[in-house]
């Protein structure tokens, strides 16, 4: 800029000296060209600062919600958001052209090449054609080269030629349309914001309704659980009463065997007691089909009923030394027909209500993970089959989904070594390192850009993959 000012100053001095003489064309022409060159150079410098403002979200420090709002508020005097997009598009073309990008001097020259930016090879071919026999191509040279590489789609033929009056009318209508769009743009933006807000409110209402329904289901399950607890308490009381009666029978049998029959008088004798016990055993064997009961358990509180029944049969087997009762208890409890195995199985099943309660509690958490579930379920591995039988189909499906999610591959994050996911990219096999996580997007530093001025670029997650050596490709 100082050089151009010096040249202009010299030109003014020359004009003062010559006064009435002719103006020096070469000097003024050189000054004009240098001024435009400086403008192009400063525009390029502004692009780097614009990218920094956009990518680092620095505009939020001034209270702007997004980059477009910043451009409209601060840069309207220099073309606003539309002009900034043009400069960013030119920067994209220069970067995609690689080494040939240095021949593209300004945004006007890059404008005709913008449609080739997504195909770097064709873009470089167009720049090379423009440079053939001309070291400083013009805008028209670049436009012609782009048409040679990728001809534009043919325009529809107009049946009737437009008269000058129609051309002026169309130009007027276009200008009116442009002005109307500029006028409606704020209203459209507000309308989109209102629509997005309404959509978010609808989603919140749906989630609230789902939570209320889930709460209602939880209340109903709690009520049913309380009913089952009451029933279980009743069964426990029956079990206690049964044990008391069994102990009383043992005391009576022991007393009959030890005391002489004279002491009992006419009430009962040892022989009568043994006969009575024999009749009780025969009656139990005829009236209770224990094996069928184990195959088809009761409909309500099946596991708890079978557990209590098995425990009662175990007590009967111990009291009467009855091998059949012991075998029936083993069948119902699902263990070996030995007193020790039945005792261990009984202790395990006593943990069943607590296990079901704790597992349901952890599954009901909104953000339950496989680690949360396993921290509870690991304590009850010995009765996993039993507590899974008590869970609902929805709960077992949730456990399966959590387990599958825990085995999914890791996601790409900061420090991951990645490559392009698209196999048709020219630099498909090159690798880079993720240096910044922006949420939906990631900033990658590529190895082949190490010695270049541009070292990083932004990508969506689905555009990248974990890098593997060529032997594993």
Burial group, residue 232, by CB count within 10 angstroms (0-12, 13-18, 19+): middle
Position 317 pLDDT exceeds 70: no
Task: Check residue 20 and give its pLDDT.
Answer: 40
How remote is the C-alpha of 79 from its chain's centroid?
39
pLDDT in tens, 151-196: 877 766 555 555 555 676 787 788 778 878 877 888 777 878 888 8
Nearest to 318 by CA among 369, 246, 375, 254: 246
**Domain residue ranges of the chain, discontinuous segments joined by +:** 57-149, 229-406, 417-472
Predicted confidence (pLDDT) per residue in 416-470, tens digit:
899 998 888 877 888 899 999 888 899 999 988 888 888 899 999 888 988 875 4
Question: For residue 427, what are its two tokens?
Answer: 């630099």
Average pLDDT over residues 199-222: 87
Question: What's the whole-model pTM score?
Answer: 0.30
Under 8 Å between Cβ of 35 and 6? no
CA distance 210 to 218: 12
pLDDT in tens, 273-316: 565 456 545 544 544 455 555 555 555 555 566 666 666 666 66
**Higher confidence at residue 293 or residue 149?**
149
Sheet with 456-460, strands from edge to edge, namely 456-460, 441-446, 432-437, 417-420, 464-466
Q: What CATH number belongs to 417-472?
A: 2.30.30
pLDDT of 7 > 80? The answer is no
Distance between CA atoms of residues 354 and 281, nearest Å: 36
Whether residue 72 has pLDDT greater than 70:
yes
């Amino acid at each position: 800029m100082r050089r151009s000012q010096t040249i202009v100053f010299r030109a003014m001095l020359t004009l003062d000296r010559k006064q009435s003489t002719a103006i020096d064309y070469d000097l003024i022409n050189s000054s004009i060209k240098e001024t435009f060159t400086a403008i192009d150079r400063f525009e390029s410098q502004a692009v780097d600062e614009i990218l920094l403002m956009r990518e680092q979200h620095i505009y939020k420090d001034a209270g702007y919600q997004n980059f477009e709002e910043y451009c409209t508020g601060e840069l309207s005097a220099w073309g606003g958001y539309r002009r900034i997009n043009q400069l960013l598009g030119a920067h994209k073309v220069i970067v995609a052209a690689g080494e040939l990008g240095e021949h593209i001097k300004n945004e006007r020259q890059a404008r005709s090449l913008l449609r080739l930016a997504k195909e770097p090879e064709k873009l470089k071919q167009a720049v090379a054609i423009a440079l053939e026999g001309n070291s400083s191509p013009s805008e028209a040279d670049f436009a012609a080269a782009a048409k040679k590489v990728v001809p534009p789609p043919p325009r529809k033929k107009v049946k009737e030629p437009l008269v000058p009056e129609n051309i002026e009318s169309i130009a007027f209508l276009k200008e009116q349309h442009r002005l109307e769009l500029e006028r409606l743009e704020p209203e459209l933006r507000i309308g989109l914001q209102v629509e997005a807000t309404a959509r978010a409110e609808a989603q919140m209402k749906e989630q609230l309704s789902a939570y209320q329904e889930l709460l209602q289901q939880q209340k109903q399950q709690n009520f049913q659980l309380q009913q089952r607890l009451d029933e279980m308490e009743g069964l426990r009381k029956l079990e206690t009463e049964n044990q008391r009666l069994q102990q009383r029978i043992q005391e009576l049998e022991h007393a009959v065997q030890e005391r002489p029959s004279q002491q009992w008088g006419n009430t009962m004798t040892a022989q009568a007691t043994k006969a009575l016990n024999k009749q009780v055993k025969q009656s139990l064997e005829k009236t209770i089909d224990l094996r069928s009961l184990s195959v088809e358990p009761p409909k309500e509180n099946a596991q708890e009923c079978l557990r209590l029944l098995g425990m009662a049969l175990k007590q009967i087997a111990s009291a009467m030394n009855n091998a059949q009762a012991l075998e029936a208890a083993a069948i119902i409890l699902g263990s070996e027909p030995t007193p020790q195995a039945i005792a261990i199985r009984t202790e395990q099943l006593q943990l069943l209500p607590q296990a079901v309660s704790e597992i349901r509690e952890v599954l009901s958490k909104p953000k339950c993970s496989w680690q949360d579930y396993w921290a509870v379920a690991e304590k009850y591995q010995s009765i996993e089959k039993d507590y899974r039988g008590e869970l609902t189909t929805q709960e077992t499906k949730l456990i399966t989904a959590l387990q599958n999610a825990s085995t999914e591959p890791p996601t790409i994050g900061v420090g991951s070594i990645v490559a392009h996911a698209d196999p048709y990219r020219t630099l498909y096999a090159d690798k880079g390192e993720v240096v910044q996580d922006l949420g939906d997007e990631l900033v990658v530093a590529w190895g082949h850009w190490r010695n270049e001025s541009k070292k990083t670029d932004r990508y969506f997650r689905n555009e990248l993959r974990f890098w593997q050596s060529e032997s594993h490709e």
